[in-house]
Each structure stands twice: as C-alpha cells, then as structure tokens.
Structure 1
Amino acid sequence: MVDKRTVNVIHLGFGFMLVFTAFQTFGNMEKTILDSIRKDDDSFHGDGYISLALIYAMLAVGNWVAPSIIGGLGPRLSMVIGSITYLLFIGSFLFPKTWLLYVASALVGLGASIIWTGQGNYLTLNSDEFTMARNSGIFWALFQSSMLYGNFFVFMVFQGKSHIDEGTKNLVSGVLAAVCGLGVGLLVLLRPSVGTDGQALARRVVGPVEAFTEAIKLFSEKEMILLCFTFLYTGLAQTFYSGVYSPSIAATLDISEDPKRLMGLSGLFIGIGEIFGGVVFGLLGAKTVRWGRSPIVILGFVVNVATYFLIFLNIPNEAPLRETHEAAYIQSNPYIAVLCSGLLGFSDSCFNTQIYAAIGTIFSERSVPAFAIFKFTQSLSAAIAFVYSLYIGLYIHIAILIGWVLLGTITFCITEAMVKRRKELDEDSQEDSGAS
C-alpha cells in the first residue's frame, strides 16, 4: 500500500496540476491574447511582458513575507489563500481593463510567494532524505502535466485563428477559471503532514519577526549563496520557456501556415518534457541519491546548451519583439521548434527536481525560509528578464541564458561537493568518538 506521506504528495501534485493548468497556459499565451485585445480595444494598453514582470517582481517581494504567513497559518491554509489569487487573475481576463490587469498581476505575484513557499514546506514535511528526490519527481511530474491539458485546449481552440477574438478569449478564460477553481477545492481538502509513523505532525508556529530573521540568516550562509546562482538561472529559463519562446514561434510568420496554433503545441511539448523528466527522476530517486544530484544538473546543462543552439538557428532574432517575416539561419521549421520546446521542458526538470531535493535535504529543518529564498531569487531574475524582454532580440536572450546556465551548473556542483565533504567529515568524527 502507498503510505500516507506519498498520498499527501500525490494529492498536492494534483491540486497544483489543476491550478497551474490554468495559470501556466495563460502565461504561455498572455502576450498573444493581450496583443489581440489591444487591436480590438483602443482604450486597452496592457502588455504581457509588463504583466509578467509585475507578477514576478511582487513574487520576489512577497517571499520575504511568506515565511511569516506560513509560520502563523501553516502551509495548507497558506496554499489555499495563494491559489485563490490565481483564480482572481484568470477571471480578470473576462473584463479586460488595463488597471485591472496590473492589479490582478500584483495580487497573483503575492499569492504565488505564499503558495510556493507553503508547497516547499509541505513537501519537505512529508519527505525524508531518502524520499525527497522521489517525492520531488512525483510532484514535478504531476504539476507539470498542467502544461498538457491547458495547451492542448488552446491548440484546438486557436486552430486557424490569426487573431484571438473576444469570444475565443472569453471561452478560454472561462474554462481555465473553472479548472483553477477545482484546483483550489483540492487544496482545501489537503490533509495534515504526517511523520514516518503515519501520525499527523505537530505544526511549528513561528512568529513573524523570528521567521523573517531566520530567512535573513540563512541567506548569508555559503551553501545558500552558491545555490542562489542556480536559482537565478532557473528564473531566466522560466521566463524564456514560459513567456518568450512560445510567443516567438507564433510571431515567426514563415514557420507554418498557422503559427498561432503552434504556440499551443509548443506549450504542450514543454509540458511533455517536464513530465518525462519528473517521472524519470522520481523513479530513479533512490538510485540518484547514491550518486548525488550533480550528474542530473550537468545533464540539464548539456541539453540546455544544445537546445539554445537549435533555437538560435531556427527562430529569427526579431521574433520575441514582433511578428516577422525575417529569415533565421535556416528555414524555420515547426518540427525543430516543437522539439526544442520538449527539450526546454526536460532540461528545466533536471534543474528544478534537483533543487527541490537539495533544499529539502540540506535545509530540512529550515525548509520554509529556504524555499522562500529560492522563490525570491528565481522570481527576481524572472521579473528582470521580462522587463528586458521588451527590448532585446532572441540572440541576446540566448547569450544571457548560456552564460547563466554555465555559472548555475558550476555553483550547484560546488555546493554538492561541499555538503558531501561535510557529511563525510561528520561521519568520520562520529566513528572516532565511538572508537574512543
């Protein structure tokens, strides 16, 4: 029988799958939808990149408050409150107003800081050093399956459309809002965290000042400083695959007869890559603990660099900025574009599953501030990336990503080596004490 802790992780994964089926689908197509609204409504001036930048900027700020909220309310109630902000954000697209878009964006950014810090804490409480890698993989596969359903729906609805009309926009917004509502309901029903004996864990109540101080102290530790470079890269990568790459395919007018439809297919294959990585690393969790997490991160690095090179060849430089007939280095090919989407998803899962496992084991007793710092640095870099995405072409995007993936991989491997060395010294010290 599956133990209660694993059931809790699976329940958590399904809740996030439904909430983010709605939100990740919107993130993937928000720029395209808002561009269409502006063409139909002269009074609307909302921009997808600005909205996403605001979301991640508020997420970065909110992560310094999130530990205090989770310390007072606990991870389950905190995740419910955070998920409701996603529902409000999606619902705002039914009433397109510039001010409402940006208010909802700021609100969901704050909600995201709460839901993600709560998720990391809840996942850690239901895991140990032997199951953390497996549970991270299980959660990641379920969570990222959200990329399949929403994007398949968009792929079908957007078929043959060069312009997203109001009826189509309302249909997509209404259906995804309903799906998000189901996800909120699942999180409401989430059971308390349990220990290895199957008994509910007593909740650790932390005051707001203590929680904030704990986060500040942790941020100054050597291991966390090094890991922050990896966190920063994942934010840049998230911006690229979730808000830049798929719209760039849609903006490459010569890639196919129906480039808007390819945007949904791109998101679908990003999800397939994410799920494949989550399943593989979840199944191999018990084996990868023995060899460490660095080999999987190095695999993600190699796949990333190869993928960025293919995108460099296949997509024109102007595509992130505007619809274009500009030629790429090769004839833009829809099959290569979609293949790169899958590879982006897989490489992202290489990094994120191992980050979750690393945080959950290295900082197991301080998982709330650790996950808050992770999401702070990740969302800060994502916010910055969405701002500069307003101005730069594809080639500069790729140059930035390659530089940061190299740095992030090196610092992750250094951290792993430091932790392994310290563990070996502790074991030797205990053996010496036992012998004496």
Structure 2
Amino acid sequence: MELATLKFYNVIVLGFAFMLMFTGFQTCGMIEQTVLNSYKNETKVNGTVTYHGDGYTSLAIIYIVFAFANWLAPSVVSLLGAKYSMVFGGITYTLYLSSFIKPVTATLYIGSVLIGIGAAVLWTGQGAFLTMNSDEVTMGRNSGIFWAMLQCSLLIGNIYVFFAWQGVTTILDHQRIPLYIALTSVCALGTALLFILMRQPTQPPEVDDETTDENQVEVSNREKSPLKEAWEALLDSVRLFMTPNMMILSITFFYTGLELTFFSGVYTTAVGATKMFGEDSDKLVGLTGIMIGVGEILGGALFGIFGKKLTRYGRDPVVLLGGVVHLASFFLIFINIPDDAPIHGTHDQAYIYPNQYLAVSCGFLLGLADACFNTQCYAIIGTCYPDNSAPAFALFKFEQSLAAAIGFFYSSHLALKWQLLILVVFAVGGTSSFFVVERKTRRSSSAVEYSSI
C-alpha cells in the first residue's frame, strides 16, 4: 500500500471509530438527565430516594477533569503511543456508558472522573495521530473529513431521540437496559476499530560506521526512558503554553468551548422552554439538534473536499465565515427566543413572535459555524506544530473544555442576552486571534520559500 493511500485509510478508519464511539456518548448525553430522574422515581422506598446521581453534575465533573487532565495527556501519549492512547480513552467511554445499565451513584461519579481522564488522552492521541497521517497540504482536507464523520454521531443520536423519545418523560427499566446495552456495544465497536489503524512504514536511519560509535548510540537510547519521555512531554506542554502564538490562539480555543456549551446545551434547552411554540416546542428540540448535526457535517465535508483549494488562500477566510455566521445566528436568536428561556419554561415573547423555522435554521447556522472554527483549529495546529502535536492538541482541548465547564456553570443563571453578549465578545476576539497567528504563519512560510530560491 502506498504511503498516501495508507494515510488516507487511517483517516477514514479514525473517522468511523469516533463516529461510533460518540454515537453512544452523544445519545447518552441527550437523555442522561431524563434517564436518571426516572430511575430516581423508580427506586423510591417509602417516599425516600435511594439513588442520588445527577446528569448535570456528572457532565460538570467530566469537563472539569477533562480540562486539567489535558496537562498529563501528552505524557500518556508518549508512553502508550497515539493509537493505544485512543484505545485507552475509548475503553473509559465504554465503561461510562455501561454504568447506566444498572445505575449506582458511586459508579456514575467514578465513571465521570474516568471518562474525563480518558477524553483528554483520547483527543490528544487523536490529534497526534491525525497530524502523523497528514501534511501541510492534506491537513485541512483530513481534518474536514474527520470532523464530518465525527459529527454524524450527533445526527444519528438526535434522530433517535426525536423518533424514540418524543413526548417521553419517564424511562423505565425495560426501555433503559436494552438502550444502554446497545449504546455500550456501539461504543465498544468503535474502540475495537482503532486496532485496525495501520502504522506507517519507517526507514531506518543510515549509520556511518566510521563516525558513529555503537556504544554512544546504546547510551543515548537508554537515556530516553519512557518516564523521561513522559516528563519531557509535560514540560513541552508548559513551554508551548507560554509561547506567543499559543497564547494568542488560546482566545480562539476558549471561544470554541463557550459556543460548544451554547449549541449543545443552552440553545436546544431554550427552544424547548419557549412555550409560545405551542405543543411543538419539545419536538423542536430534536429537530434543532438534527439541524445542528447537518450544519456540522456539511461544514466538515465542504472543508474536506475543498481543503487543497482553501489552503491556497489561507485558513482565515473559513474562520471569518464562521465568525460572521455565528454573529448572524446570535442576532437572530436574540430577537426570536425569550430572554429567560435558558433558565426555565416561559410564555414570554422576544422582539418578534417566536418563529419555528427561524429557530431550527439557527441550529443549522450554529453547527456550520462550529465546523468552520474546529476544522481550522485542527488544521493550524497540525501545520504549525507537526513535531509537537500531542502537547498542542492537549492545550487546545484544555482551553476548550475549561471554557465549556465555565459555560455550563453560568448557563443556568444568566439571561439569554448576557450569554449572547459573552459569545459575541469572544467570537470577535477568537476570530481576530486566529487571523493574527495565521498571517504570521503565512509570512513565515513565504520567507522560508523565498530564502530557498
């Protein structure tokens, strides 16, 4: 198999594996709170609740642990390698899903900690592996293809929720157990797919017998022990975090976490809480989620197909498109959705009479813009840090997950207008920050090409 073909094969298998793993996890996340609340009611003894697990608390634990575990993730990747680091992460996702087959408060929260650690290792390994199977020309294409395949999980999960759980407020044992056996199996299958990822052939370095001492080579190999490599990976993360480009990009990374919280939790909740949509308000939650998935897939596919053409003009036009689409969607949401909808159900009206088609369309815009930002964040990291990809992707996920945790914290307390104001400020800052680093990178590349003529 040619090297280019092998690399593309790895990208496709990686996309399928993550699609399956996150079909399980995304679907679980959408119905988690309803499932656990139903289980609480089932396990009441003489009016006393015996189960105390909470879905929102579990998600908060996951994101907090995920954020700070990213500092150690590069060390784990240096010990296990990118492929087996992803397998380790996939196993923690599978274990977390299996805990819902027979819910126990302790296993829910222990599983939340484990999956937070596993997520950091999984995504750091994924970033390193994607970079290893890409170059400056194919990085944009490969990140777009991977993103489109990954986001199919969002579409699959929302379609299932829309048809299977429409109008359902209580989930009983005979519904929960088969569902979570299926979700656990799908996630396990995705983890198993990672084993068929293929290693790239490496050429052994040429050794000049006249100038190289075998004893020196052996000593050098012994000095690079796994623990030392792990320690160096941690130091690399700290050093990389303090570099000017990474500090500037941190604003962009942080914004992706805030808007992730908004489209994945706040907006769909607000649509369902807008009672002026009538009896269709609950149905619109599923439809909005489906359209978010469609926007994500379309964005990833477009940037994958036209990846080569886009890199000719830089990555900043795509991010500018994402920023403009986000600002437009925030304005439309502001005039269409009542101010208190993220906090509780409301019969209030916003600046216009709530429009169902506009609400669903905004879901599509949020998904499309998110794809713009995330695919280009992957691309710029893979291009700027090809030899330091694991720490770079770990810092990306640290910033993103920390912002998501903060977003989940304030989302149940702030009115919609204040949440949108925060997003607008960071959207402008995140887009501008990406422009600065992208332009610096392009000038640096041009200077290198000119000097080599």
Tell me whether the two structures share a fold, i.e. TM-score over 0.5: yes
Counterpart of 2:370 in structure 1 is: 348
- 2 CA distance for matches of 1:343 and 1:247? 17
Q: 1:44 to 1:406 in 2, by over 3 A?
A: farther
By how many angstroms is 1:310 displaced? Answer: 1.5
Residue 372 of structure 2 is aligned to residue 365 of structure 1: no
1:347-426 alignment runs, 5 A limit: 347-426=369-448
Task: Note the alpha carbon deviations across 1:336-388, whole angstroms, 9 max, x for none.
Answer: 22211111110000000001010001111110111011111111111111112
Counterpart of 2:81 in structure 1 is: 74
- 2 CA distance for matches of 1:32 and 1:393? 24
User: Is the Cα–Cα contact under 8 Å of residues 18 and 182 in structure 1 kept in the other structure?
Assistant: yes
User: Is the Cα–Cα contact under 8 Å of residues 157 and 168 in structure 1 kept in the other structure?
Assistant: no
Bigger shift: 109-118 or 98-107?
98-107
Amino acid at match of 1:22: G
- SS state at 2:100 partner: helix
- 1 CA distance for matches of 2:422 and 2:346? 23
- 2 CA distance for matches of 1:413 and 1:403? 16
- 1 CA distance for matches of 2:34 and 2:370? 23
Runs of 5+ unmatched residues, structure 1: 197-203, 432-436
- 1 CA distance for matches of 2:304 and 2:70? 27
Counterpart of 1:140 in structure 2 is: 147
Bigger shift: 160-169 or 263-272?
160-169
Amino acid at match of 1:244: V
Counterpart of 2:301 in structure 1 is: 279
Q: 1:103 aligns with which of 80, 100, 110?
A: 110
Residue 313 of structure 2 is aligned to residue 306 of structure 1: no
Counterpart of 1:182 in structure 2 is: 189
Counterpart of 1:18 in structure 2 is: 20
Counterpart of 2:211 in structure 1 is: none
Counterpart of 1:201 in structure 2 is: none
Counterpart of 1:28 in structure 2 is: 30
Q: 1:414 to 1:268 in 2, by over 3 A?
A: same
1:242-261 alignment runs, 5 A limit: 242-261=264-283
Task: Note the alpha carbon deviations across 1:304-350, whole angstroms, 9 max, x for none.
Answer: 01111122222222222223333333332332222111111100000
1:80-91 alignment runs, 5 A limit: 80-91=87-98
1:84-233 alignment runs, 5 A limit: 84-193=91-200, 207-233=229-255
Displaced runs of 4+ in structure 1, greater than 6 A? none
Counterpart of 2:58 in structure 1 is: 51
Q: 1:379 to 1:7 in 2, by over 3 A?
A: same
By how many angstroms is 1:253 displaced? Answer: 3.1
| TM-score normalised by L of structure 2 | 0.88
- 2 CA distance for matches of 1:195 and 1:274? 35
- RMSD of aligned residue pairs (Cα, Å): 2.2
- 2 CA distance for matches of 1:167 and 1:246? 27
- 2 CA distance for matches of 1:39 and 1:136? 44
By how many angstroms is 1:105 displaced? Answer: 1.6
By how many angstroms is 1:164 displaced? Answer: 4.6
User: Is the Cα–Cα contact under 8 Å of residues 74 and 230 in structure 2 kept in the other structure?
Assistant: yes
- 2 CA distance for matches of 1:323 and 1:171? 32
Runs of 5+ unmatched residues, structure 2: 204-224
Question: Which has the higher Rg, Structure 1 or Structure 2?
Answer: 2
Q: 1:125 to 1:77 in 2, by over 3 A?
A: same
- 2 CA distance for matches of 1:340 and 1:277? 15
- SS state at 1:130 partner: coil
User: Is the Cα–Cα contact under 8 Å of residues 336 and 359 in structure 2 kept in the other structure?
Assistant: yes
By how many angstroms is 1:32 displaced? Answer: 4.6
User: Is the Cα–Cα contact under 8 Å of residues 124 and 364 in structure 1 kept in the other structure?
Assistant: yes
- SS state at 1:255 partner: helix
By how many angstroms is 1:256 displaced? Answer: 3.7
By how many angstroms is 1:122 displaced? Answer: 0.5
Q: 1:315 aligns with which of 337, 340, 356?
A: 337
Bigger shift: 16-25 or 416-425?
416-425
Bigger shift: 113-122 or 147-156?
147-156
Q: Number of paired residues?
A: 424
Q: 1:269 aligns with which of 291, 297, 302?
A: 291
Counterpart of 2:222 in structure 1 is: none
User: Is the Cα–Cα contact under 8 Å of residues 233 and 404 in structure 1 kept in the other structure?
Assistant: yes
User: Is the Cα–Cα contact under 8 Å of residues 141 and 279 in structure 1 kept in the other structure?
Assistant: yes
User: Is the Cα–Cα contact under 8 Å of residues 31 and 243 in structure 1 kept in the other structure?
Assistant: no
- 1 CA distance for matches of 2:74 and 2:376? 22
